[in-house]
Amino acid sequence: MVTVALAAGLAILNLVARPVFVEHLEQTTRTLIKGLAAGAQRAGVAFSAPSVCSMFGI
């Protein structure tokens, strides 16, 4: 079991170390926030989602 957890941790570190990881994560976050805002606007619901890089709050 420890071996599986170690392998999973190393796999995540390898993904995060890629140069495009952060850019992709930030773009995905922007797309999510835009979609949520559009849905709220269509429903007539007040919505705010402040964000910095890939972190956001609702």
- What would the pLDDT profile of 4-38 be if each residue is shown by its tens digit? 999 999 999 999 999 899 999 999 999 999 999 99
28 found inside a domain: yes
Rounded to an integer, what distance in angstroms lies between the CA atom of residue 1 and that of residue 58?
37
Q: Is residue 5 part of a domain?
A: no
Query: Which residues are CB-neighbours of 55 under 8 A, at least 6 positions away?
Result: 29
Give the confidence band of 53 by pLDDT, cuts at 50, 70, 90. confident
Q: What is the DSSP letter of 44?
A: T
Strand partners, 33: none
Instruction: Look up the domain containing 28 and give its range.
Output: 20-58
Give the model's pLDDT for residue 30. Answer: 94
| 40, 46 Cβ separation under 8 angstroms | yes
When divided into structural domains, the chain yields a total of 1
Read off the pTM: 0.72
Q: In residues, how long is the chain?
A: 58
DSSP E strands in 1-58: the ranges are 51-52, 55-56
